[in-house]
Structure 1
Amino acid sequence: MSKTDIRALIADSMLEMERTGTYLSVEVNAVLDKYDSLDARDKAFYKTVMDGCCERRITTDYILDQYSKTPVRKMKPMIRAILRMSVYQLLWMDQVPDSAVCNEAVKIAAARGFSGLKGYVNGVLRTVSREKNNIRYPSKEDDALKYLSVVYSCPEWIAGMLCESYGPDRTESILKALLDSRYISVRLRTDSRSEERLADEWTKAGVDVSPNPHIPYGRLLKDTGAVQRLAGYDEGAFTVQDTGSMMVAELALIRPGDTVMDLCAAPGGKSLHAADMLCKQGHVYSYDISESRCERISENIGRLGMEDMITVSVHDSTLFMPEMEEKADVVIADVPCTGLGVIGHKSDIRYRITPEDTDSLVPVQRQIIDSAVRYVRPGGRLVYSTCTMNKAENEDQASYIMENYGFRDITDRALKQSAVIPPKNTDNSLPGLRILPDEWRSDGFYICVLERA
């Protein structure tokens, strides 16, 4: 497929997402499945531009509004898609010649029935190309929120919420780290000799492999292509799992013989990790709200050969299950949240969530908590976690558990007893543990390990 065709495919995908509200990952996977015959370079180019256009949308729109007489919001949808993807290439893909970007954009405009706007497309893009080193961004001193929003392509309300918790400078460091997230985190399930062999096979296939600095059996991969095609995937030698997610099972201090309940479990990474830690002694009960989500868990269980260790059930975790009262040594409650911590890997989340989502999710989290605490045996542990960086969903909820149910925070003790290698100067002054992207080289995450008296 020619570069013009690949870029046209990108423009069509962007238009489809705008028209239907399709999630980025769903659209990308559907197109790559449909055009599976594309060579690896074309697939990589398509995915890189799609991810980048979504991730940098606020920034590209700010730039386009400076150099286009027609505001972005009033552009014809196809022209808007063409200009957005082209500006992304001009500013963040140095290996693509500017002249090629401009020429291909003009060709696509004509091919999609906008021959009359070829001059406009060409003019805007060549101006951006010429002025890209002179673009004026908002002043950090005059308007910190506007600066953070535009430079790091983050909605102002999210930047404001993070500033309230971490201050402007730390917020900038966090947002920068989220933009730098270009790896896939995996958990290895093999012995050390097999790990070396697996890493060697990955390296020979062109994958950049590096150790996870905080999890001894974790690896960070770049340039993987389709993960499902990596050596060891079909055999269940590894599973995709971020640092924060791996830390949940580690900090739960799971022992062989334990009974573990994993609420809101899809796609099943924590359940599988917990089952591995049981060493074939004990059992994991894994729950999620729908058949489709439970099917995802079951698929991963099958690939890893853990059918005898994990029972999967459809259940709404806001509802209490009397038959499981005080039955669990460990309860994992990784509750639904705003997902601010994963926008480095799921970049369209930042445009989908609203301040009102936080207000609506906190009561749902409380309902899950009110059931989860009742499953824990005396002396057992509840691990409360989210993939967000919002105090109302994190520390405030941990405090609610301690104040209302008599649990105590043992996160610091669990961290010392686990295999986790924390960064220096980890903040232990608040309930639980904040896992922030700039410090942990991971998605943003929150974990609080709570022990029942």
Structure 2
Amino acid sequence: MTPAARLSAAIDLLCAIEAAPRRPADATANAYFRDRRYIGGGDRRVISARVWDVLRQWRRLHWHLRAIAGGPSPRTLCAASLLLGGEELGTVRGLFSGERFAQSHLTQREDTALAALAGAALNDPEMPGPVRLEYPDWLHPYLVRAFGASLEQEMAALDSGASLDLRVNLLKGNREEAIRILRNEQVVATPTSLSPWGLRLPGRQPVTATQGFREGIIEIQDEGSQLIVAALDARPGERVVDFCAGAGGKTLAIAMSMENRGQIVACDVSAPRLEGAVKRLRRAGVHNVERHLLTGGDKWVKRRAGAFDRVLVDAPCSGTGTWRRNPDARIRLEERDIRELLVKQAEILERAASLVKPGGRLVYATCSLLQEENEDQIAAFLSRSDRFERVAAGGETLPVSLREKTGFSLTPHRDGTDGFFAAVLRCKPV
């Protein structure tokens, strides 16, 4: 594809993302490219990178283009991103040539607005803090509470692109073997510093086409997510519940830590997500997992009260810790979402806790950076229940620095992972 055709496709994709504001951008992008299989892998990466740059710069671009009557369009957003990234105005104008596969010529209104940006920098000293740091105004007190003086550093880290982390499936190999297999396909991977199962690749790479992925030796999973499983510390032969399993990413890692022995129940309220786990479980060689769909009026939880050694609650949350990968989530998040999530998290935690047997372990986790969803949620739960107490995570797979803690928070700036929180609780013995 020509540069003009790539830009035109990026604008089309951005239009599709704007047309589905509550749908994750990566889901929209996957559908967009699935319907256009004629777009090659290299072109897809360039198009996606352009769109993701715009999403990461969303508030700043709108600030620069605030004088446009009716607000910026995907055309002006993409063009402004190029200009503020250092492209010459003449080059950008040339991409809107009106030729085949290119966008139509810039209108007078668009050209005037873009011409005013020539020579400007993306970050302007006149920008309000939330605009420059790319988060909603209403979220400012939440983030100040979470980070204090390190707020700017943490937000800058969230504004950068994420690395690609993999988890080696010890049921089928080890890290050295996985590194060698990937190297044979010109994919360079290095061991992660915190997870003993992790590998890190620079940038986005097509690992799903590699032999290691097809054979279930590696799985895509952020290093922080791997540490949540390490904190659960599930052992072979135990009975375990992954209460908010989704498509089974943590379920796979739990099965690996249990050496495929014992019982795991993967629960979720979404049938499509649970169904999506089937192929992953098969590829990984996992056979000690059963799936259960949680529905309204379902008595499964009540009937199995106190029956499990370990329960993981990977609670639905704001996802603020994943903004490196999902910059569009910053645009969609509203304050009412936080209020609704806090209620839902408390309800889920109560239900899941009832499954833990005396002496058993409960791990509550989120991919949120906010105290309200994390420490506050645990403090409120413990104030309501005298059956549980916080305990040191322990275990041999967590880094030594985390083993004596009753929970931990991970951030991109400090730890090089997505943002995660985990609290380790024990159901007091009778």
Give your verdict on TM over 0.5.
yes
The one-letter code matched in structure 2 to 1:7 is: L
Alignment partners' CA distance in 2, 1:360 and 1:107: 47
The one-letter code matched in structure 1 to 2:135 is: C
1:260–1:331 Cα contact (<8 Å) kept: yes
Counterpart for residue 142 of structure 1: none
Alignment partners' CA distance in 2, 1:17 and 1:108: 25
| Superposed displacement of residue 105, structure 1 | 3.5
Alignment partners' CA distance in 2, 1:120 and 1:300: 50
| Superposed displacement of residue 409, structure 1 | 0.9
Counterpart for residue 93 of structure 2: 102
The one-letter code matched in structure 2 to 1:82 is: R
Seen in structure 2, the aligned counterparts of structure 1 residues 347 and 136 have a Cα distance that, compared at 3 Å, is closer
Runs (5+) with no aligned partner, structure 1: 140-145
Counterpart for residue 14 of structure 1: 14
Q: Does 1:389 align with 2:378?
A: no
Alignment partners' CA distance in 2, 1:318 and 1:422: 43
- SS of aligned partner of 1:131: coil
1:423–1:439 Cα contact (<8 Å) kept: no
1:373–1:405 Cα contact (<8 Å) kept: no
Q: Which moved more, 1:2-11 or 1:35-44?
A: 35-44
| Superposed displacement of residue 377, structure 1 | 0.8
| Superposed displacement of residue 58, structure 1 | 0.5
Seen in structure 2, the aligned counterparts of structure 1 residues 317 and 333 have a Cα distance that, compared at 3 Å, is farther
Q: 1:282 aligns with which of 262, 273, 283?
A: 262
1:105–1:121 Cα contact (<8 Å) kept: no
| Superposed displacement of residue 175, structure 1 | 0.8
Alignment partners' CA distance in 1, 2:33 and 2:400: 38
Q: Does 1:418 align with 2:402?
A: no
Q: How many residues align structurally?
A: 425
2:361–2:425 Cα contact (<8 Å) kept: yes
Q: Deviations over 1:115-158 (max 9, x none)?
A: 5x43443443344232338x63336xxxxxx21x2222211222
Q: Does 1:310 align with 2:313?
A: no
Please give the residue correspondences for 1:367-378 in structure 2 after superposition, counting only pairs within 5 Å. 367-378=347-358
| Superposed displacement of residue 104, structure 1 | 0.5
| Superposed displacement of residue 197, structure 1 | 4.4
Q: Deviations over 1:251-281 (max 9, x none)?
A: 1121111100011101211111111111132
The one-letter code matched in structure 1 to 2:398 is: V
Alignment partners' CA distance in 1, 2:10 and 2:170: 39
Q: Deviations over 1:26-61 (max 9, x none)?
A: 221122223333333211111101111112111111
Counterpart for residue 82 of structure 2: 89
Alignment partners' CA distance in 2, 1:277 and 1:194: 13
2:84–2:120 Cα contact (<8 Å) kept: no
The one-letter code matched in structure 2 to 1:312 is: R
Runs (5+) with no aligned partner, structure 2: none
Alignment partners' CA distance in 1, 2:380 and 2:246: 25
The one-letter code matched in structure 2 to 1:103 is: G
2:323–2:329 Cα contact (<8 Å) kept: yes
Give the % identical residues. 22
Alignment partners' CA distance in 2, 1:344 and 1:240: 16
The one-letter code matched in structure 2 to 1:216 is: P
Q: Which moved more, 1:383-392 or 1:219-228?
A: 219-228
Q: CA RMSD in A?
A: 2.8
| Superposed displacement of residue 433, structure 1 | 1.5
2:321–2:420 Cα contact (<8 Å) kept: yes
Counterpart for residue 35 of structure 2: 34
Counterpart for residue 131 of structure 2: 150
The one-letter code matched in structure 2 to 1:357 is: D
Alignment partners' CA distance in 1, 2:61 and 2:100: 19
| Superposed displacement of residue 193, structure 1 | 7.7
| Superposed displacement of residue 194, structure 1 | 5.4
- SS of aligned partner of 2:292: strand
Q: Deviations over 1:84-121 (max 9, x none)?
A: 112223334x6x666433320354899656x5x43443
Alignment partners' CA distance in 2, 1:289 and 1:162: 30
Alignment partners' CA distance in 2, 1:155 and 1:102: 32
